[in-house]
Structure formats: structure tokens, C-alpha cells
Structure 1
Amino acid sequence: MAPMHQLSGLDQGFLHLETGNSPMHIAGLCFYTPATDSRAFSFEAIRSGIEERLHLARTFRQRLVEVPMSLDRAYWIEDPDFDLDYHLRHVAVPSPGDWRSLVTMASRILSHPLDRSRPLWEFYVIEGLDGIDWLPPGSFATLIKIHHAAIDGVSGNDILFALTDLTPEGRNIEPPRRRWVPERVPTAGSLLLRTALANVVAPFKLVEGGAKLASTVIGTVARLPKYREDPPPAPFQAPRTPLNVPISAQRVWDGTVFPLETVKRIRKAVDGSTVNDVILTVCAGALRRWLDKHHALPEKSLIAFAPISVRAETEKGKLGNQVSGMLVSIATDVADPLARLTAVHDNTVKSKSLTNAIGARTLTDYTKYVPSATAALATRLYTRMKVAESHNPIFNCVITNVPGPQIPLYSLGNKLVAQIGYGPIFDGMGLLLAIFSYDGTISIGVSSCRRIMPDIADFVDFLNLSLEELRVAAEAVLDGAVVDVAPEAAPTKAAPRHKPRHGAEIPPVATVI
């Protein structure tokens, strides 16, 4: 049994950010198709499979214990009242069981916060998908929802592996080496005593943090001449957009899936560009179309926040977040798709260079020096006073890219064919794009709220249009042709929808001469 342990400053930050309008969980919607007839699908079989794997991920049975008045960071304990049946839910998509019905159901599930008195996760088994034409009969989906204080994208991959197998036949799960033993919930008095003792050494930690901060500032300033003419974006330099306003409580979620090979082919058209650069360019193209549709496309490029994992090999399997991030200009001010890819590539190289100069882990470490009560009060005031309306956005959106396994995974004889992610939004930042690659596919999950993006289906169609215009332009360059990119027209009508798309035929924006 792992002893009671305290959240990091970053993990605690996700608790502080949580409000009634802004639940701080992440999620993944997985689609399974029958790979063998040897094991029939049943909810009871899935329940049994999860029960025998609970010891493979600490997230499953650990719950929060919060310090009174938020005087210190909360603690994780082994939940003495753990009840697996509370966390497992069996639902069916209402008729006609099509994609729109599924994403509507998922959006409602994702709108509700998790119960902090229990382990912070829920697992939904979803049937009734017969109206989704790209899934064969007998397919089902699972939606796992976990608080961001417990995991980041990389540790979420660990949970995916815990719940799946490498073959349709499955694997033998080794029993835990030690019997699981729950912990007693500590009293408020004992938590306050821990806080008082911790405050004795707090000044020394603050001095240590100040020394690190001074060293980082000096090192960064020394490198600034390198970026003087064309500096990477800084916080609060992003343009105002309809995405950067206070959010509502009703989530909207949707997504699409591309062939990874298409993305890899496109990147060859611009020397040095990466899969991540191509996806950022696709997202930028969709944002151009969506903002143009709403007559709100700014002249200045949008700024995206891109999380970076700093989780070491020795930290695999641990709860919590080991992430930093960088700000990237995604060139939404560039109409030509290949010119946009070139600009995005240059911008990511520049942002990565500055982030590496500062030290990604250093940025994460500073969170532990922020007093918990101060952070909690600041977050509440920011939301209640609607401060997000009074300043330029810190950044316009979050685009997070988590590389997944490039081999097929299975659950009870069913093959995982796709996974689409979801991430939290908050006041002033109403769009998160979750990128996940798996077994030759790459998905983009779109998370927003109904106040900001009631037409989320159009935005997903714009992602597909953006990929296609970039593909056509890249193919022309790779084939040695000349590309004349036609001026973009403001799209007012969405393309036909078949979710998720796998290289669907879409009228190209570029014309090959």
C-alpha cells in the first residue's frame, strides 16, 4: 500500500481552477470492434476485467483529502469506502444511435464534475452505436473520465495500457504482490498539524525557489538577444477572439480521425517539419475558417499553449502531472496552407529553443512555491470578477499532442480502432484541441462550451477541409507541380459529416496547374 502523499503544486492548481462552470477532468472516448467471436461482449465481463486490474494504476482507488480552508495542498489516500460499481456506468446511445447522438451524450457526461469525496474517475460502457456507419455490428465505446489533478496525458497512456491487451486472447494478470489495504481518513486537526509543521521549513524552500528563479532569469536574459528581432510569443500577447471569454457550464465535444500516413506524407513538403507541425497547421486552418465565419478573424496570429511532458522514466506509474508547456504562434494570419506550415515549423523551433533554454521542468517546479490558500483565492476572484474580459488572453487555445502506441490494442477480444480525447477549458480559454496518435491514425478531439462554440460540428468539418487543402498543396510540391492557392472564401455551409473521417474526399481549396 502506498502511504498518504501530498499533491504537487501543479496538481493542486487543477483543483483550484475547478468551478461549477469549469470541471477539471480529462477524458478519452475509445471505440472497439469485434476482433474475435471467442468472447462475447458483456458489461459483466468488462467489470470483472477492470476489477482484476485495479492494482495496475494507483488512480483507481485513491481519493482526495483536502486541508481545511485550502491552507495547504491536498493529499491522496487509499479510499476506505472504495466501491467499483459506483465508478462503472452502462449506458446506450438513444435512437438512431448515430454520431450526433453519441457526441451529444458524451457532451452531457463531460459537463458534470467528478465527486471529490470518491476516487476521481468514472468509466462508461456505451452501446447502441448501430447508426454509426463506419463501425461494424457489435461495436461499443468506452468513455473514461479522470480528474486532471490525478493524471496528465502520458500517465493517461499508462491507464490505457492497464485496461487493454496486446492480443485478442488477452493476458494473464499477475495478482498484486501485497494485499490492498485502505487508509483511515485523517482528521481536520491532523491535517492542520501537518500544515503547521510544513510551514516551519517553508521559508527555506522559498529561499531555494528564489535562488532557482534568479538563476533562470539571469540565464534567460542572457539569451534574449538571440530572439530580439523575432521573439517567441509571451503571455498576454494573444489577440482577442470569441474563444477567450467567460465560459458556460454546458460542454460541447466532437472529433475526427485522420490516417497518420497522410500527415507524414504532408510533412515531407516542408524540410524539417514534424507530424506535430502538420497538425498545428491543420488546427490553424480550421480556426481561420471558423473565425472568418463569425467575422472575427484577427490580423495577428493566434497563440496556442502546447503542453510538454517532463515525466522521467522513473516517474512512470505515479499519480499527478509532470508537464510544462510553451507558447506557439500558429500562423492563423497566413492563408496559403504550405506557407502556414513553414511558418508553424519555424515558430515551434523558436518556442522549443526558448523553452529548453529556460528548462521545461524548472517551469513546473515553481508551482510548489505558490501558497495554496493564495492560489485558491486568486482563482476564485478571477472567475467571480470575470477578469478574463478585461485583459488580452494569456493564450487563445490549448493544443495538446499525446503520442499513443502504434500497435493494435484489444479488450476482451475487441480491437481498439480509435481514441478521441477531451480536455478541460476555463474562463478566458474556451477551446482545447486534444491530439492522440494510435496504430496508424491520429485523432483531434475538440472541447469547448455551448456559449462559445454551438456550431462545433462545423469546426470539425473545417478540420477536415484544412487537412485536405494542405494535402493537395503538399502533393503538388512533392510531385513537382506548381500550386496556385485560391483565395479562401468564408464558408457558410458545413460539409457532409461522417464521423470520424478517414481521408474523406473533400473539394480541394488549392488548384494544381
Structure 2
Amino acid sequence: MERLSGLDASFLYLETRSQLMHVVGVIEIDPSTMPGGYSFHAMRDELSRRISAMPNFRRKLDNSLLNIDHPVWVEDADFDIEKHVRRVGVPAPGGERELTELIGHIAGRELHRSKPLWEMWVIEGMANGNVAVVLRMHHANVDGVTSAEMLSQLCTITPEPPQLDTDKIKETAGGTSRLTMAVGGALNFVQRPLALARLLPGTVKVPIGWAKRAMEGSAMPLPFQAPGTPFNAPITPHRSLALTQLPLDDVKRVKDRYGAKINDVVLAIAAGALRSYLQNHGGLPDRPLVAMVPVSVHGSDETALVETGTNKVSGMFTQLATDVDDPVERVERAAELARRSKDHHADIDANILRAWAQFAPGEILQQLMKSYGGRKLSALHPPVFNVVVSNVPGPPLPLYYLGARVVGVYPLGPIFHGLGLNISVFSVDKSINVGLLGCTELVPDIDKLAHSFEDELAKLVDTCD
């Protein structure tokens, strides 16, 4: 039995029918490269073999009325791969629109909490002959870094199946013990006043430091200071998505030409694409948009205030240069804004968010979030921020998914009440893969936003000649 950290559990408490807290990965493969030829059943069998050495795929939630702390993970004694892996055909003619509509439908479904919180859909019948593998995992069980680690176990640099880690095969979340769960939860609960006393001094420093930096002009944007946009509104369960690839060499060329970093160029492209999209929809604010950029704290020093858990992430706020028309100036501005936010974020204890999450009141938070979403209260205040922009680097090598050559890997992060657009980026081999997920009612033509990413990079490449 393994108790969830407060931050991991918060993703459960924040979930509503409209606000689905799972992440999605779309892996497009070329089945003709699979040794021995493509077979759904052979692929599923190899997946089952590898999952035997991937403990996160085999554990499920457990809770009881006696437990007054966060839920626990236990080993699923009845784990069955066939309950998690599904096979489906894309509607004719099997083009990009049909594929993304089908994945959008899959992304809008809830994960059932009675079994391990993941599922995989293998989509066949694509017009180009490829196969799309859609993996959904609950955010309580994965973050950006751990998802990349899991990908490395499913995707290898050669088509041959790897040897499995015997220690991981033996690793287990254990079984259920109602007494242990209740006693452990009670002990954690009574220790919270002391943990709170330890946490307060460091927390008080955050607003003081923020105010000081604001006066110096070196602060991150404050929450709830973002301008309104058409996609900052109450969301529904309906999901639209778009996928696009950018040549990594082109992004590096721009980076080298203007002395920026790859992430700066990505933020500049995102700002340009959002600017163009909002101009076409008559919703471009005069002020720059504000992005929340997830930042991994894996490897950071742990403190006594923080329990271990899957999600080791913080969030950095940064302005996007959506108020800048010139693409070159936008890159320079993006680099400047990113440096400012990184410097400020580095001054804040990366574990504070995770430490405060330990106090998350599960049942109360769940009811508050249902009321917040159901009554559409996000429409009554300024956006916390405008958009999520995450960027996770992957291996600069060709990959093989269970033996088949990977054509593209696209991440899709969750959206939130009042925050109906997520932009996720994952680089692998020679491509930067961009996944955009939005609420259908708020971003009905999300494919046009994706094409704007391609246009913005082309403009920057032209300036490098």
C-alpha cells in the first residue's frame, strides 16, 4: 500500500465531468516496419510483457470510510490487459480530421477509478497506412518527466524487444489493509499542525519577494491578472485537438541566429500563433497573454515538508509576446520574458506547492470544484492565466514503439474551468511535436491554430537567410 501525495491526490479532487484530469499521448507508428509484420494481438502481448516491469500501470486506487487522509495505491490483483487496450478503426476516409475527431472523443471520456487509471486505444485504418496509439493516464499517476520515462520503456532505439528490469517486475504497491490505511491516515492528519507551522515562514517570503521584484520590474505575472480571451471561459466535456510537427533543425537555426534557447523559440512561435488566431477571431487583447509553464522539480532537494509522490512539478508564469507584431522582435522579447520568469521562479522554493497540497481537503475540494464548474463561476473573475504551454525534451534519436518505427509523439495536457486551451510540446528525433487540446465550444477550429505554428516558424526561418 502506497499513499498518494497531496499533489497527486489533488488531481483526483479537482476532477469533474468537464474538467478531466488525465494526460493523453498520441504515438503514430509505421506498422510496415514491425518485425514479422503488424499484428494488434502481437503488439498487445508485447505491451503486456513490458507492463510487467512498469509498476505504475499495475496499481489502482483504494480508499475507505475510515481513511481521513489521501487515498492509497494498491496492486491490482485482477489486472487484465484486455480491460485497458482497445482496438478501433478511424472513420473513412481516415484523414487528419477524422483521426483528431476520434481522439477528441476518446480524450473526453472519464477513466474508471475501479481499475488502474490508464487505457490505450489502437486506431487502425488511417489513409496513410499508419497506426495511431492513444494512451491516456490520470495525472495522479504521471507528470511530464515520469511520462517521458514511461515512454522510454515503451519506445526503444531499436526494434528488438528489450530485456526487462527484474527489480521492477518484483516491485509492487502491495495489498489493502484497512487498519493500516486508517492508522496511517490518522497519524498524518494529527501531524499537520506541526507541518503547517514549518511551512508558513517560507510561504510568507513568497508574496514579499514577489512585491519586491514587481517594484523592480523583474517579477513573474501575478495570478488573476491575465486578459480575457475567447478560450478563457467555462468548459464542457467536449474536446477538440490538433497535431502538428515542426522540423527541429529549423527551430535550432532560429535559435542560433538570434542567440535564444529552443524553449524561447517555442514560446515565440506559440505567441505568434495565438496572436494570429485571436486576430482572426476578433479577440486579441491589448495586453500580452499569460502562460503557465509546468516546471519539473525532479531531483530537487526534498524537505521534511514534502512527501514523495509521482507529480514533482511546479508552475512558472510568464507573459507571451502576443502584443508584438514582428516575429524577430517576438523571439527576442520571448527570451527576455522567459529569463525574467525563470529568475523569479528560481527564488521560490520549488517544493512549496507540493507541501501546501498535503493539506488539500479531499471531499470538500471535490464539492467546491463541482459547484465552481457547475455554476460556471470561472466566468465571474479574470483568468488565472490564459494558456498552458509545456515543453518536454525527448531523445534526439529514432524510436520504435513495441517494434514499430515511431513517426510522431504528441502530448496532450488537460484543460481547466476558465482555461480552455493547452499547448504541449515534445521533441524527439528530428521533430518538435506539438499537441493542442481545447474545449470544442471555445476553440472550434483548433486546426487553424495548429497551422499557425507552422506559418510562424516559416516566417522566422525566412529571416535567417
Q: TM-score, normalised by structure 2?
A: 0.92
What letter matches 1:100 in structure 2?
R
Q: Tell me the distance in 2 between the aligned counterparts of 1:451 and 1:97.
A: 24
**Counterpart in the other structure of 1:485:** none
CA distance in 2, matches of 1:432, 1:420: 12
1:171 aligns with 2:162: yes
Which residue type is aligned with residue 423 of structure 1? G
Which residue of structure 2 aligns with residue 302 of structure 1?
A: 289
- Structure 1 residues 411 and 294: CA distance shift in structure 2, 3 A: closer
Letter in 1 for 2:233: V
**Higher RCO, Cα 8 Å, sep 6+:** 2
* Cα deviation 1:439-491 (Å, max 9, x = unaligned): 01101100001110111121112222222222223x1xxx4xxxxxxxxxxxx
For residue 128 of structure 1, what is the aligned residue in structure 2?
125
What's 1:332 paired with? 322
Equivalent position of 2:453 in the other structure: 463
Post-superposition offset of 1:326: 0.6
Deviation at 1:150, TM superposition (A): 0.3
Q: Which of 265, 283, 286 matches 2:253?
A: 265
| 1:405 counterpart (386, 395, 398) | 395
Tell me the residue number matched to 1:364: 354
The one-letter code of the counterpart of 2:95 is D
For residues 150-183 of structure 1, what are the alpha-carbon distances to aligned partners after superposition, in whole Å with 9 as ceiling and x for unaligned? 0001100111111122212332335557657785
Q: Deviations for 1:208-238, whole angstroms, at most 9, x for unmatched residues?
A: 12233235556x26x8257523533110110
Structure 1 window deviating more from structure 2 (62-71 vs 152-161): it is: 62-71
Q: Displacement of 1:71 after TM fit?
A: 4.2
Identity of aligned residues (%): 35
Mapped partners of 1:29, 1:412: distance in 2? 14
- Deviation of residue 371 (structure 1)? 3.5
Secondary structure in 1 aligned to 2:140? coil
Q: Distance in 2 between matches of 1:11 and 1:275?
A: 29
Quick one: which amino acid aligns to residue 341 of structure 1? Answer: V
The code of the aligned residue for 1:280 comes to: L
After TM superposition, list the pairs within 5 Å mapping 1:331-350 onto structure 2.
331-350=321-340
Contact 1:58 1:319 (8 Å CA) reproduced: no
After superposition, the Cα gap between the structure-2 partners of 1:70 and 1:254, relative to the gap in structure 1 and judged at 3 Å, is: farther
Correspondence for 1:83 among 80, 101, 113: 80
Query: What is the CA-CA distance between 1:350 and the residue it aligns to?
Result: 0.2
Rg: which structure is higher? 1
Structure 2 distance, partners of 1:60, 1:165, is: 18
CA distance in 1, matches of 2:240, 2:223: 27
Residue 111 of structure 2: SS of its match in structure 1?
coil
Deviates more, 1:399-408 or 1:46-55: 46-55
Indicate if the aligned counterparts of 1:337 and 1:470 stay in contact, CA closer than 8 A.
Answer: yes
1:432 corresponds to which letter in structure 2? N
Q: Counterpart of 2:389 in 1: which secondary structure?
A: strand
**Counterpart check, 1:282 vs 2:279:** no
Secondary structure of the residue that 2:156 maps to in structure 1? Answer: coil
Whether the 8 Å contact between 1:17 and 1:426 is mirrored in structure 2 is no
The residue type paired with residue 165 of structure 1 is T
The offset of 1:122, in angstroms, is 0.4
1:89-100 equivalent positions in 2, closer than 5 A: 89-100=86-97
The residue number in structure 1 matching 2:221 is 233
Among residues 235, 240, 245, which one is paired with 1:247 in the alignment?
A: 235
User: Which letter maps to 1:33?
Assistant: D
Structure 1 gaps of 5+ residues are 480-513
Residues 344-366 of structure 1: CA deviation (Å, up to 9, x unaligned): 11000000000001132333333
After TM superposition, list the pairs within 5 Å mapping 1:197-212 onto structure 2: 197-212=187-202
Q: Is the 8 A contact 1:423 1:447 kept in 2?
A: yes
Give the deviation of 1:373 after TM superposition: 4.0
- CA separation of 1:433 and 1:175: change in aligned 2, threshold 3 A: same
Number of residue-to-residue matches in the alignment? 460
Change (3 A) 1:174 1:305: closer
Give the aligned CA root-mean-square deviation in angstroms: 2.4
Question: How far off its partner does 1:407 sit?
Answer: 1.2
Q: Which runs of 5+ in 2 are unaligned?
A: 303-307
Query: Is the 1:110–1:251 Cα contact (8 Å) retained in structure 2?
Result: yes
Match of 1:144 among 114, 135, 146: 135
Decide whether aligned partners of structure 1 residues 314 and 409 sit closer, same or farther in structure 2, where only a CA change above 3 A counts. farther
Residue 14 (1) aligns with residue 3 (2): no
